[in-house]
Structure 1
């Protein structure tokens, strides 16, 4: 009798796992996860292209930023749908706390990676709305946590695919999406010299010598210094100059660019690198000598 009851209980569990309701829930979770993964990759690529100005010829700067934000919101929406879909499954025990709190109620590490990644993405997206009240450099550093969020989400996706037997599918589609993302992200932080070699920035720096110093003249205390000017009509405030030469260029909280028109000699190389990297060719660096 007990054996029959055990068999019936096991059969009930199998039927529950294969019920149309749970199958539908899992399909929704799987589809939303794949869409979130794709949108996440597109968001990162679009953000890099927008920040560097490499797609500036396609449309306006505001449209680029709006597109980046739209993709980010879609990523968060599909990611949230993926997580909360499991609450409605009857064959597994997933509550709101387990969905939102890492490692809660015996949650796995792969679940925690996805939860933290999605929460970081949400925080970064919210920070865009309050950017005007934050110091730009502080906001920029916080915004860059999005790279960590993407990394955690990729780990979650791959570990989840391995656990669910879908690793082959992710290897085919996932790698296709991740490779350009990693490539562009790496290019975003490469030194200007390497960017010049690969042709992403001009090899000719915007440097205009004014005059050469007479070798017979005594040393000039201003020798080696440079003069910096920015064409306000060309400048789109992408912030690449601040990354290359933070001691010379600063984007303030209201979006305006402040820069040192006569930086110290030790920052001359950085100023020239910023001029080379500027996608709008708005920066001019002049070597100062003795007339």
Structure 2
């Protein structure tokens, strides 16, 4: 006899099974299923070789990165900021990119601002649960007072991180241009961003560990994007890093070499020009190339919005 409290089999609701994770970065890598049994040389070779997928993904994304850079330049030329948002490895890579722009290109620190899920502590200590708080991502981004000339670079390997999606939503609400970097196709981050950039790296060799080639692809993409922006903003002459901040002996020597090379000057002349220019490579270079005092070189650079080639009359 059947239990009267138990409905007939045909009338019971069908169990709702959770669909398998669609994200390729979470899939099990089909190669090297015996990774833990490899001899150390073979293990290192396998891990290094798998990183080639990061380079391939970044190269495939080059057209998307170019479109993102073109869109970002409009606001940055009006004084906008580069804002970064990410969680975990992606967040730390955003912090790294923002941190490297001031010494490399003399980009103002106030115009390269990164936020990470979990706050400053998360840079050095894992705070994985913070990435699930979408409302916190929105609040953290709004605390930066984003505006229409700013650019948000939102990074998430999964493309589904709630905290990052919250930050992106806040940016869009402030009419801030949004660039989304994700390692999985068809994800909410790419769908919501003004400029989506897919870094399709597929499964990780250590399955699910997106600090590997997914993270490498993000680093390449961030390097490429921010460097392209700095070149277009006049921070580079030819391929010389003429806006570096010489803050130690190594960089002072580098600044001297750049002036010597860019101006075709001997060491003594380059040193004198750098001294007169207060250590500013671009200013010293223009002064030497045109044979004018530093003050006149500065005036010409101001007229050229900081572009050395334009100040030199080469455009």
Larger radius of gyration, structure 1 or 2? 1
**Comparing both structures, which one devotes a greater share of its residues to helix?**
1
TM-score normalized by structure 1?
Answer: 0.26
TM-score normalized by structure 2?
Answer: 0.25
